Amino acid sequence: MNNQDIEKKVRNVIDQIRPYLQRDGGDIEFLDLTDDMQVNVKLVGACGTCPFSILTLKNGIEQAMIKAIPEIKSVEAINIE
């Protein structure tokens, strides 16, 4: 599987997770997929300021991503100003 195929799957997983985040006033944006299979995302809205967002990211989003796409090594939140 090439990086384009994996990126398409990553975007699909994010689209499945998005409604749960939006229900709480937040959202997630896909930024990029690195060569070492790290997914970089931006948490926005309520997720950007929530003190539990790192738990949501690691215990929710990252676990779902790795379960769906075993090639993924991690999901990291990148803050872009």
Give the per-residue pLDDT at 80.
61
Domains in the chain, CATH or no CATH each: 3-77 (3.30.300.130)
Q: Is 62 helix (H, G, I), strand (E, B) or coil?
A: helix
Residue 10 has what pLDDT? Answer: 97
Task: Note the pLDDT of residue 53.
Answer: 86
- How confident is the prediction along the chain (81 residues), in pLDDT tens digits per residue? 788 999 999 999 999 999 999 998 999 999 999 999 999 999 999 888 888 888 889 989 999 999 999 999 999 998 765
Q: Strands 38-45 and 26-33: what pairing?
A: antiparallel
**What single DSSP character describes residue 80?**
-
Instruction: Record the pTM.
Output: 0.90
Alpha-carbon distance of 29 to 15, in angstroms, equals 10
